[in-house]
Structure 1
Amino acid sequence: MSSKRKLRDIIGILKDKASLIKANLSTKRSISSIQVTVIRATTHASASPPRNHRISAIISAGDHSLPAIYACINAIMDRLHSTNNPYVALKCLFIFHNIMAKGSLLYKDHASFSPSSGGHNSLNLSGFYDKSDVETRQLSSWVRWYANVLERNMITSRTLGSYISPSSRLSINFDKIASHKENNTGFSNSVTELESLVCMVEGICDAPESQYCQKIDLVHEIMILVAEDYRSTQYHILIRLVELTGRVSRLSYLDLSELILCLTRLEGCRKKLNELFIRRKNDLFWEMVSQKKMEMEKVKHERERQSFLLWNVDENSAELTWSSQSFGKNQLLVAAV
């Protein structure tokens, strides 16, 4: 370990101690205890993910009351936006992700409130960059990517009206879903929902290429949570594709075009997703995507063909009308002569 790295670690430890002292000096003991728990869960010193009991303590603290929820979210966001250390930032985001997956509905609602509006709980970390060394520069790209994935998670959840992150490991029977046909008649929001879900998948696909960082325990645990989000996203996409069964012919031309574009973009993510999640290839899912896309393209092509034929008929009719009018005028001229 270089002397520069040792000095940075020592400074990080001192920062953690100073933050703990400051939190303990607070006169509001309930808030102070939450701040201390968050600081201990997001130390500078370790590359390991926060311990389970500390994450559980933060989640359970927010289940008690609304003030406790505010205190937990504020403590995490204060920690996140006041650090330049990628390990601390990734731990804060990891805790936030756990809240989105395992917290109460009220907890999730307040955690995800207007994430893109630039408020205090905004996860916009596009400018995050620690240039101390090669490792911190690489980890900084993971911070930016992870924050963007969580932002997209919350945006997609609001679009769907339900949260993407599952509270426990999903066990999805894709065969059963694919053989099931919904009887819903409303499809007005499905184009918007599929667009948002595909954006979620594209955000996950933007994961940094660094193989070294993926071996770090913290990054590995992050990828496990993201993999569950991806699986949940697949589930929501598949449900909406199944709902399209028997309806493709009734979709408007604009909806067909937008859905085909969405599914094309989704197919473009397949290779990267297979590399990121080797055990989650789900061939049935991709077969369904390809099948629905081909079905839509066939309907769209047929409509374009019919429109072309109608246009030709109208054009020919116009030519015939013009020709008959010209012929009538010529006859009148001959008669006059």
Structure 2
Amino acid sequence: MTKLTHLIGIIKDKASQSKAALLSKRTTLFLLRATSHDSSTPPTRKHLATLLSSGDGSRATASAAVEVLMDRLQGTNNAAVALKCLIAVHHIIHHGSFILQDQLSVYPSAGGRNYLNLSNFRHNADPTSWELSSWVRWFAKHIEQLLCTSRILGFFLGTRPTEKTGCRFDSLVALVEGICKRPEPNNVYGNNGLVEEIVKLAREDWGVVEVEVRVRVSEFKERLGGFKFGEVVELVCCLKRLEQCQEMMDGARELGLWDFVGEVKDKAGIQVYRQEGKLRKESRKLRFSESDRFSAPVLNSRDFLHFPSGRFLL
């Protein structure tokens, strides 16, 4: 069954590439070559570089290239093809021209959650395809979060020097959490080149995200005294979520990130405790002052004699 599936994939690739060559569709031809049905090897650097070169021209050319890539991704039910398309999308995010990245960020125009619409992807032709399907679902979700975080930052992660900004820290934490949830390589397909490439790309993304996280945690440490109670509580929650990713992230322990995260979390926790105590005191004081007007002794019948206005006779 596996050999037959592989043979059918080769025939499909040859047919599609021949058709693109006859129609002189250069971008489509190179995309088809980069996203073949071969489930053991990732796209070559040459084919990915050629795909990226489509962004060196006009916006219309870049838009057409992204549309062809997305149509290929959305139109396939083959796990290997889908993974290679996702690798191409990831390559555009990190190495594409501004025009190509811009076209990717607005496609489709709705954007948002489940951007790539692959959360239900299944390919069960053989055990290898079934296992690769889990990587399609995970890598698509990772790319969706990567695009979402980049929109919040205002630039694609890793494409320019990190600056201290007021971006939503929880989007970075969500990105780290997503990386932690990657599937575990399975012996069903052994040392698969596609899976190895995706694991490598995820590790590179973690390296970039780690720098962003460190810069923002450092900023939080400096500004901690100026945060409102709700902001500090939210920060502590985010740092706790981040700490839970510690065991899954490679290389962070040596760089001391987790010690730094724990230090800032503890300081923020102390500030929450102090601010909470202060709020409780203020609340008690407010309740006491509000009840002052009711704290006078209850008047008895003889006290009416002291109020000639007769206001209590009503």
Query: TM over 0.5: same fold?
Result: yes
- 1:214-251 CA-to-partner distances (Å, cap 9, x unmatched) read 83111111121221211111111211121223321211
Task: For 1:167-246, list aligned pairs within 5 A.
Answer: 189-190=166-167, 192=168, 194-212=169-187, 215-246=191-222
Q: Specify the alignment match of 2:310 in structure 1.
A: none
SS of 2:221 mapped into structure 1: coil
What stretches of structure 2 of length at least 5 have no aligned partner?
Answer: 307-314
Tell me how far 1:138 sits from its aligned partner. Answer: 1.3
Task: Name segments (4+ residues, structure 1) moved above 3 Å.
Answer: 210-214, 279-283, 313-323, 330-336
CA contact (8 A) 1:41 1:54 kept: yes
CA contact (8 A) 1:101 1:166 kept: yes
> Equivalents in 2 of 1:201, 1:82: separation in Å?
29
* 1:144 and 2:120 aligned: no
CA 1:297–1:20 in 2, change beyond 3 Å: closer, same or farther? same
- Report the CA distance between 1:99 and its aligned residue: 1.2
Residue 148 of structure 1 deviates from its aligned partner by 0.7
Checking the alignment, whether the CA contact within 8 Å between 1:116 and 1:123 is kept in structure 2 is no
Cα distance in structure 2, aligned partners of 1:81 and 1:46: 18
The 1-side partners of 2:200 and 2:220 are apart by 31
Q: Give the 3 Å change call, closer, same or farther, for CA 315–71 of structure 1 in structure 2.
A: closer
Unaligned runs of 5+ residues in structure 1 are 171-176
Structure 2 distance, partners of 1:12, 1:62, is 29
Q: Give the equivalent residue in structure 2 for 1:12.
A: 9
- Aligned positions of 1:235-314 closer than 5 A: 235-273=211-249, 277=250, 279-314=251-286
What is the RMSD computed on CA atoms of the aligned residues?
A: 2.7
Instruction: Give the letter aligned to residue 259 of structure 2.
Output: E
Residue in 2 aligned with 1:98? 91
> Does structure 2 conserve the Cα–Cα contact (< 8 Å) formed by 1:86 and 1:136?
yes
Contact 1:93 1:146 in 2 (8 A): yes
2:19 alignment counterpart = 22
What's the offset of the Cα at 1:305?
0.6
Q: Does the 8 A contact of 2:39 with 2:194 survive in 1?
A: no
Contact (CA 8 Å) 1:166, 1:232: kept in 2 or not? no
Q: CA deviation at 1:320?
A: 5.8
Contact 1:100 1:165 in 2 (8 A): no
- After superposition, the C-alpha distances for 1:91-123 in whole angstroms (9 at most, x for unaligned) are 11111111111111121111122558269x942
Measure how far apart 1:210 and its partner are.
3.5
Structure 2 distance, partners of 1:99, 1:204, is 19
Q: CA deviation at 1:204?
A: 1.2
Which protein shows a greater Rg?
Answer: 2
| C-alpha distance 221-153 of structure 1, shift in aligned 2 (>3 A) | same
In structure 1, how many angstroms separate the alpha carbons of the residues matched to 2:252 and 2:258? 11
User: Which 10-residue stretch deviates more, 312-321 or 298-307?
Assistant: 312-321
Q: TM-score, normalised by structure 2?
A: 0.87
Can you list the C-alpha shifts for 1:169-200, whole angstroms capped at 9, x where unaligned? x9xxxxxx9xxxx9x7xx7x34x2x0111111
Of 143-152 and 16-25, more deviation after overlay is shown by 16-25
Residues 289/115 of structure 1: CA separation in 2 closer, same or farther (3 Å cut): farther
The Cα of 1:318 is off from its aligned counterpart by 5.2
* TM-score, scaled relative to structure 1: 0.82
CA displacement 1:10-58 (0-9 Å, x = unmatched): 11111112211221232xx3xx011111111111135111111111111
Q: Are positions 1:322 and 2:294 aligned together? A: yes
Q: 2:309: which partner in 1?
A: none
Q: What is the CA-CA distance between 1:64 and the residue it aligns to?
A: 2.4
Tell me if the contact between 1:43 and 1:88 (Cα under 8 Å) persists in the aligned partners: yes
Q: 1:75 aligns with which of 68, 74, 92?
A: 68
Number of residue pairs matched by the alignment = 304
Instruction: Give percent identity, aligned residues only.
Output: 35
Residues 131 and 186 in structure 2, CA contact (< 8 A), matched pair in contact too: no
- The alpha-carbon deviation at position 293 of structure 1 amounts to 1.2
Partners of 1:8 and 1:46 lie apart in 2 by 11
Kindly tell me: are residues 99 and 76 of structure 1, through their superposed partners in 2, closer, same or farther at Cα, counting changes over 3 Å? same
Q: Counterparts of 2:133 and 2:174 in 1: how far apart (Å)?
A: 22
